[in-house]
Amino acid sequence: MAATLRDFLFELEAAGELHRIRRPVSPRLEIAEIADRHAKVLAPTPSANAVAFDPGHAGGGGRALLFESVEGCDLPLAINVFGSYRRTEMALGVAGTGGFGAVASRLASLTKPEPPRSLGAMIGKGRELLPLLRTPPRRVRQGVCQEVVRRTERGEVDLRRLPLIQCWPLDGDPTAVGYPMSAEAAGTAGGEGRYVTFAGMHTIHARDARENKPASHNIGMYRAQLVGPTQLVMHWHVHHDGAAHWRSWQAAKMPMPIAICFGGESVLPYAATAPLPPGISELLMAGFLNGRGIPLVRAKTVPLWVPANSEVVIEGFVRTDAGPIGFDPRRDPDGLGPGAAFEGPFGDHTGYYSLPDRYPLVDVTAVTHRRDAIFPATIVGRPPQEDYYLGKATERIFLPLLKTLIPDIEDYHLPMFGCFHNCAFIAIDKAYPLQARRVMHAVWGAGQMAWTKMIVVVDGDVNVHDEAAVLRAMFTHCHFGRDVEIVNGPLDILDHAAPRLGAGHKIGFDATRRMTGEEVGGYDLTPPPPADREAVTRRLEPLAGHDAIDRITVPAVGGGRVVFASVRKTAAGQGAAAIDRIFAATDTGADFVVAVDEDADVGDWSDTFFHLCANADPGRDLHRRGARLGIDATRKLPGDERNGQPVRDYPPIIQMTETVRERVEMHRGEFGLFLAPPPAGAGCAGTGGVHAALLGKIWTWTLALASCQGTVVVLAGRRGRVVDAASCGSTPVVVGLM
């Protein structure tokens, strides 16, 4: 582990994991485009540990980047620092000692302690627990984060000089997503769509305002939009601890102190994202990972303690006279009210823009930093990005804790196409009827896993990290009239398909083998009949090109039982109509039909499942025909309401402008982009732009020609001689020189 961000960057550079960029680059879109391209190519060193649980992406992530000259800003910027498994392992100090599994084992020994059976075992257990005594934070008098102190009251603060970045073209422009409120009227024009994207937000509960050591000290990683020289606007979800703290200060009728801390020990960013139970401090987790407590220094203008080794700290108070979320200027043009701004839109980790809403302002009182500070940031967008690797670290590290809560679980996997909250694959050692459904409901009540929208449960002999194997089990065993569970419940607030903000429906598929006692819905245990994929394809091919159906595929992973259709949707009901036509065209097969928009690649099941998870609500968009199930995963329009469930606004999918792409392309060598840019959508959902079966050879050879799933992969040696190829159709795309 590294004590500071600067130390960690030196470590990465020594390992060949860092690329320095000296050419001046704009913080508006250019940095994001460069970082996004790096995120979609191979990293210098793959993680041998990650091959076991994410074989398709164990070697992805490009390099960490250090922008030494950011236009209009005073500090250099580091990005994509945690953007590979190897670098995240290095940050946690486990790159050579078992990876995330090593941390999981340490946690497991603490959460399930076994009574010692001898004096020697007792001494050994004492040694094992001894490091816990060193994990609480330590208070110190001085810290490098306060080598320079700038106070607002002295006119010394200008947040615009910090390299806050704009990630996507529509960020910060409400009119671009259909709202009749300009950025000026929203109160955010001064920030030009730039955001804090990679900082620990330190807050406490109002009840601890007078406590010397507040037990509620929390670190959350939220976004904050730049508003002007001394103001930001916060964004947090209603279930986050930071939001709960804000409500406590609002009840006390006092502004909430906040410290926004950048950098510090290399374990801090992960600790800030860890799904800890309420009341368990992220500082304790950071100390546990660090092997000793995190040093804290008293903030200069707010009653908080901050990590002494931070690069930059923004201090201030969050206004509590702001109204709640749910403001819409189309219904109440003058209702924004005091203490708030209309924050957003913002290109989010879902791959879509999160739409704007009312959030509270932060009045900044000071900015402190070290003399040679480096400012960290991340690009937020469709995975893989840095948050993908941090999220997968949580998947592995917290597996023992999840198994303690739900002992039935053998293993689980959060596929990239689900963007974490949208899908989970779970393996169980099935012992009794309907056990899979019990596990589904347990997951839907387990901490942050409760937001999971779609669950597939398989038997323990299925490799849950082999996504195709999980889907084959699902389409082999699932009777879609019998083996589907649908519930009401809370959803991620970013789920635009939910009929109501943060509330909708979830779906579970029992893909285990049937046993007596699982006769559900009037169906016996007869397995679903296999389907002739070629025959189904012949029957459905004539539908393509007619009645808004653009393309139809019958993917091999479904063996004829699964059909994907892309729809040129211009009116409500066209997605449902496409499903009906497919059901009518064949009386065998086509048991699971998914309709998506024409910008989805129905030739790639992972991309189709990305759109399915993002754009469908199980309580509104399912179309049942006995044992057949259709899912309308097209973008919903007014008139698509069904089953009493409304339709909310669907945001645009995020994509970079051609102007910015071309500008970056002109200097690609200086930006470390020795790899050609991937085609639109490449490597986003299921493959990371690399054919998983050939990863080992790709790391070995000098020239790699590759593309996403469903294309040709060619590997060439030093002199261009073709040494291996795997044909899946389509044509090769140059991914890069290595």
CB contact set of 563 (below 8 Å; sequence gap of 6+): 536, 540, 552, 553, 554, 582, 589, 590, 592, 593, 594
Token couple for 412: 């689980």
* Position 272, amino acid: A
DSSP summary character for residue 222: -
Local structure of 622: helix, strand or coil: strand
The residue written with tokens 């000793």 in the block is: 292
Local structure of 75: helix, strand or coil: coil
DSSP summary character for residue 652: P
Rounded to an integer, what distance in angstroms lies between the CA atom of residue 163 and that of residue 70?
7
Rounded to an integer, what distance in angstroms lies between the CA atom of residue 130 and that of residue 608?
49
Q: What is the dihedral of CA 288, 291, 293, 297, to 10 degrees?
A: -120
State the catalytic residue, choosing from 241, 348, 510, 591. Answer: 348
Phi-psi region at 273: left, alpha or beta (left = phi > 0; alpha = psi -120 to 50): alpha
Is 348 known to be catalytic? Answer: yes
Closest alpha carbon to 415 in 683, 686, 605, 603: 686
E-strand stretches of 491-621: 503-510, 549-553, 562-567, 592-597
Token couple for 405: 């809560």
Question: Which stretch of DSSP H or E encloses residue 262?
Answer: strand 256-263
Closest alpha carbon to 262 in 20, 8, 70, 83: 8
Rounded to an integer, what distance in angstroms lies between the CA atom of residue 641 and that of residue 572?
9
Rounded to an integer, what distance in angstroms lies between the CA atom of residue 426 and that of residue 489?
19
Rg (CA), the chain: 26
DSSP summary character for residue 645: B
The residue written with tokens 């957003």 in the block is: 344
Task: Classify residue 23 as exposed, middle or buried by CB count within 10 Å of its CB (0-12, 13-18, 19+).
Answer: exposed
* Position 536, amino acid: V
* Position 649, amino acid: D
Asked whether the bond before 137 is cis by omega within 30 degrees of 0, the reply is no
Asked if 404 and 182 count as a contact pair (C-beta separation under 8 A), the reply is no
Residue ranges of the alpha helices (H) in 510-586?
533-540, 574-585
Local structure of 149: helix, strand or coil: strand
**If you count them, how many residues does the chain have?**
738
Do the bridges between strand 592-597 and strand 353-354 make them parallel or antiparallel, or are there none, so unpaired? unpaired
Q: Count CB-CB contacts under 10 A for residue 8.
A: 27
Rounded to an integer, what distance in angstroms lies between the CA atom of residue 457 and that of residue 429?
10
Phi-psi region at 200: left, alpha or beta (left = phi > 0; alpha = psi -120 to 50): beta
Q: How many degrees, rounded to 5, is the angle at CA 92 between CA 387 and CA 43?
A: 55
Q: Count CB-CB contacts under 10 A for residue 507.
A: 22
The residue written with tokens 């002109």 in the block is: 666
Largest separation between any pair of C-alpha atoms in the chain: 78
Rounded to an integer, what distance in angstroms lies between the CA atom of residue 423 and that of residue 274?
19
The residues carrying an active-site annotation are: 348
